[in-house]
Structure 1
Amino acid sequence: MVPSLRKAFNGQFSKEKYQQFLNCLQQDLKEEIAFRVAETPVFFPQDFKEKLIKAGDDILKTLLAPNFKELTDRAIPTKWKVANETKHPHFIALDFAVCKDEQGEIVPKLIELQGFPSLFGFQSFLADCYQNSFDFPKDLSIYFSGLNKESYIELLKRTIIGPNKPEEVVLMDVDAHHQKTFVDFFITQKLIGIPIVALEDLKQEGKKLYYISGGQKTYIKRIYNRLIFDEIDTDPKIFDKVVDIRQDLDVEWITHPEWFYRISKFTMPFLQGKFIPQTWFLNELPSIPTDLENYVLKPLFSFAGQGVIIDVKEADIKAITDPENWILQQKVKYEPIVQAPDGGVKCEVRILYLWPEEDVKPTLAINLTRLSRGKMIGVRYNQDFDWVGGTVSFFG
């Protein structure tokens, strides 16, 4: 994307430097990071950064509209409705494929979106390790909105902790210490000082929640929620064993679990803009396109790419018995813009917003980037390749 930076980086790359970089990431960790981290960051020019910002602004017009909750009420499964929904999400993640348009320009195209936190701690640390392990200009930044590392961490604290004491805010997930994203939990704990508490370790006293640490009972005022209900959906008796977090409790959600469903694939048909592929709810499809090879079929209520049909046939559409729970989306063609030593690699950029409770609107803060050679972005599709995996983009 920035040819001079790419040439210089590839020229200095070695397996020894990559190992030095991995050692930087692994410092203080007892176990290896549970996902692959790519050999390289991505270098984008300022004009592509501006396109990402414009694409995000177009999407926010819908997400911040007064009727957005009304539009998305159907997105929330009845069994996963949770009391005390917040007035707005505290995190927004927008995933863009890096593509070429008809004029040959590199542009972002929306793939998916989430009202859920991502690797907000890890990405900042990841950038530091790239900069410490490889030689490239130090004035390049992974941040947006005029943020630097210090102001970014302050924004992160203001979003997650707010006016509370760090020990009163818990980072919560099911089996939290054994999640693939635990490295992010650990780094977040180091950055802002909040404890990591598993769902199964929450205790209830009336409407209050608390946890025990070192024999001390601490009441919880906020939950930094990292729990995705899909991960406990296979156990119908889960809330016979742990606190039923769906009930009316004296706790603030950062962010409330229902935003995971509201801002999701479900939102795609409502969006408009030059960086957004045409998408329909399957039950509202005017007619089956004759060029189905240019579309992808996605179930609304699935996680991590499960159930997606890439090579769509008319029979696939006709076989679906609940078309209101599926979307047909124009296929996006990734451009292999990152030059590895042995060829081009596809790229996806996730831009991440933070929205403190008291702010009027979200702040575009940081990015997460993934590289792929497989048919889809994601670990399971890239297990046998190098120069793929999680990374971060630096902007000139």
Structure 2
Amino acid sequence: MQKDLRASFNQSFSQEKYQAFLADLNKATQNSLEFRVAETPIFVPKAFKEKLMLTCESIIDVIVKDDFKAKTEKAIPAHQIVPNENKHTSFLAIDFAVCQDEEGEFVPQLIELQGFPSLFGFQYLLSETIQKHYAIPDNYDFMFNDFDRKSYIEAFRKLIVGDEKTENVILLEIYPEKQKTRVDFEVTERLIGVKAVCLTKIIKEGKKLFYMNEGVKTPIYRICNRLIFDDLTNFPDLKTDFNLTDDVEVEWIGHPNWFFRISKYTMPFLKNPYIPTCQFLSDYQGNFPENLSDYVLKPLFSFAGTGVKINIDKSDLTSILDPENYILQKKVQYQPVIQTTDGTKVKAEIRMLYIWQNDEARPTLLTNLARLSRGEMIGVRFNKDFDWVGGTVCFMEK
């Protein structure tokens, strides 16, 4: 996106340098990477960065309104409501495609958003390793709001640990040692001391929760939640002391209800030049747009792109029995924008990552992640056997 930096990076790139970078990244963790890391970071100029940030702020303006909770009550499935919801989400992730407008200018377009944590730990490590192996200009950074590496960790620790001891705070997952994102759990523990604990290892006694910490039964006062209900459906015979919907005496950092409230369900409430038109399917009452080839159908209650239908016709829409649980969104045309060393270009998606401290009125932009793609969609399964694709980070002009 920043032509001079891209040209300089590509000129100095070599497979040997990339393999050394990967080796160093894997060496820094006990868990080998289960997802592809791209050959390059993204260099984002200030003008594009400002478009991203202003669009995010317009989204936050909607989320902080007094009526937001009332508008999103139906976002939470009745059988998945978790008690003791806090006043706002602890995390906010906002995904944008890099596109091009009619004048040929690069612009962001919102893809989706979620009130759920992302790879805050891994992005810290990834950016550090990139800076070790590649020349990144001093006026480009992966952080925002004057954070440096020390204050990044301090803010992350304040959000998750708060005033508790680290042993009384856990990161909750289902079989964390098997998750593709387990490297993030490892880096998070290294940065702030909080361990990943499997749901099956939680001990419930009345309303109190415990886990075995190096053989010692230890109370849990705070849970950083990385577990979503969709994951539990993969284990229908799972036996646990604790269910997410139980009324227990813990503070959720990333309360499960916010995963639903801030999601695809939120998108019809958002209006901005960089946010594509979006409506609940039920709102059309059968009067669908004629140009359905310009739209994508998304189920509200799905994760990681499952159930998304890109090529639709009217019969796809009329056959849906619960249209209130779907959105029809104007298609976003990703523009191949990142020049590779073989002369081709790849698509890019940028995720802006916010934390929201309990004592603050609005979330704070902390960092970002990005993904490069040659496939029809961004996800890993659409980009198998390609190079210059996968996870990365943006360094944005200050």
TM-score category, normalised to shorter length: over 0.9
Aligned to 1:262: 261
Aligned to 1:292: 292
Tell me, what secondary structure is at the counterpart of 1:241? coil
- In 1, are the aligned partners of 2:202 and 2:240 still within 8 Å (CA)? no
Aligned-pair CA distance for 1:236: 4.4
* Alignment map for 1:108-147 (pairs within 5 Å): 108-147=108-147
1:295, 1:160 → 2: CA distance?
Answer: 39
- In 2, are the aligned partners of 1:162 and 1:356 still within 8 Å (CA)? no
Aligned to 1:329: 329
Aligned-pair CA distance for 1:13: 0.8
- In 2, are the aligned partners of 1:173 and 1:225 still within 8 Å (CA)? yes
Tell me, what secondary structure is at the counterpart of 2:218? strand
Aligned to 1:303: 303
1:67, 1:301 → 2: CA distance?
Answer: 22
2:244, 2:128 → 1: CA distance?
Answer: 36
* Alignment map for 1:158-173 (pairs within 5 Å): 158-173=158-173
1:256, 1:128 → 2: CA distance?
Answer: 30
Tell me which moved more, 53-62 or 212-221. 212-221
Aligned to 1:2: 2
Aligned length: 395
Task: Note the alpha carbon deviations across 1:160-195, whole angstroms, 9 max, x for none.
Answer: 111111111101100011111000000000001112
Aligned-pair CA distance for 1:233: 2.0
Aligned to 2:15: 15
Give the TM-score normalised by the residue count of structure 2. Answer: 0.97
Q: Which amino acid counterpart does residue 166 of structure 2 have in structure 1?
A: P
Structure 1 residue 359 and structure 2 residue 360: aligned? yes
Tell me, what secondary structure is at the counterpart of 2:57? helix
Give the TM-score normalised by the residue count of structure 1. Answer: 0.97
Q: Which amino acid counterpart does residue 180 of structure 2 have in structure 1?
A: K
Aligned to 1:253: 252
Tell me, what secondary structure is at the counterpart of 1:258? helix
Aligned to 1:346: 347
Aligned-pair CA distance for 1:232: 0.4
- In 2, are the aligned partners of 1:374 and 1:381 still within 8 Å (CA)? yes
* Alignment map for 1:199-214 (pairs within 5 Å): 199-214=199-214
Q: Which amino acid counterpart does residue 47 of structure 2 have in structure 1?
A: D
Q: Which amino acid counterpart does residue 353 of structure 2 have in structure 1?
A: L
Aligned to 2:148: 148
2:337, 2:157 → 1: CA distance?
Answer: 35
Structure 2 unmatched runs, 5+: none
Q: Which amino acid counterpart does residue 372 of structure 1 have in structure 2?
A: S
* Alignment map for 1:204-283 (pairs within 5 Å): 204-238=204-238, 240-283=239-282
1:114, 1:231 → 2: CA distance?
Answer: 16
Tell me, what secondary structure is at the counterpart of 1:110? strand
1:248, 1:196 → 2: CA distance?
Answer: 21
Q: Which amino acid counterpart does residue 187 of structure 1 have in structure 2?
A: V
Aligned to 1:60: 60
Task: Report the identity percentage.
Answer: 50
Task: Summarize the Cα distance change of 1:245–1:288 in structure 2 as closer, same or farther, 3 Å threshold.
Answer: closer
Aligned to 1:390: 391
2:334, 2:268 → 1: CA distance?
Answer: 21
2:138, 2:14 → 1: CA distance?
Answer: 20
Aligned to 1:73: 73
